[in-house]
Structure 1
Amino acid sequence: MSIYINKDTKVITQGITGKTGQFHTEKCQEYANGKNCFVAGVNPKKAGESIFNIPIYASVKEAATQTGATVSVIYVPPAGAADAIWEAVEADLDLAICITEGIPVRDMLEVRNKMKAKEAAGGKKTLLLGPNCPGLITPDEVKIGIMPGHIHKKGRVGVVSRSGTLTYEAVAQLTELGIGQSSAVGIGGD
């Protein structure tokens, strides 16, 4: 049984037009059901364009409304990443996955406080993985983030880790022993 994501999950990439966002979105599309899962990108300056046959929207809210996406992966540089996280939260997504490393602590404290206030006021809760996380994967279904897909094998064991590289090592050893994973989740080091 997987957690958080499956082959039917619809994903938005924030920062899809940047080098890192492009590279990893393409890798995610190439993994299992990724072509069907990655349905939108966000860049206000490039709205109306597309990349890898993924339409680009001006905002997360617009992308979610148009596509039914419930998850966002964030590859935005540190100076703008907290705003990108908050935009995903304001759009009422179920899950925001922030790959970005080095976001100022003060910015993340502000986001955390706004998320708590939104939830306390009865707003929808968005789960945040990260920042500085490798993402998550449900083997043979979908991967979101920077995890290498080839080391995973579908199975029953869940893996959760703060460290990206230790996640990969644990998964690779499990796979080598013939033990498959239901999901592997990197919660982030920042």
Structure 2
Amino acid sequence: MAAREPIREPTRCTWPLGGNDLYIEYHDKEWGVPAWDERTQFEFLILEGAQAGLSWSTILNKREGYRAAFAGFDPERIAKFGKRDVARLMKDPGIVRNRLKIEATIGNAKAFLAFQGDFAKHLWSFVGGQPIQNNIAEHGKVPATSPESDALSKDLKKRGFRFVGSTIIYAHMQATGMVNDHLTSCFRHKQCKALGKAPR
């Protein structure tokens, strides 16, 4: 009986290598996939803001904790959180217990609800309504910001959002597929590129 050939792992970006299964799955199935809906965009605004100063793996491991603590990322419910909720969240080990970040999440929910129109469509307008398709071969050449993230960050700050600096917003753009920064050697580069068409 012939021996089975070992299953070969696909070539990936370098940043998830050495991470746990959750990290690998996030890279393989979610990172860089265009998010056209408002709820996904809002969720990543919360998560990317929470990441500030921390590793993404820390936030990813607490994602379910955030989902439970922040009402399934429902902005209408989060916007109603008060001082008692803040005190409760400060004791919740399932999230990053940083008062400024918790209060910013509540404030961002209010800013999100105050926006007139399609919030996701507004974000996408900063990249021309379609994902920016980068062709980067080395991880060290992936940018931390861009003119688009600078402009979007400035816009969000004017609207009252917090923890939305250009670096955080660029990471948000990468996560939500507004920019395709999978390395050209990564198996997901072409797959995500093929997804880059806005729904009609």
Q: What's the TM-score, normalizing by structure 1?
A: 0.28
Q: Which has the higher strand share?
A: 1
* Pair member with larger Rg: 2
Which structure shows the bigger proportion of residues in helix conformation?
Answer: 2
- Larger RCO: 1 or 2 (CA < 8 Å, sep 6+): 2
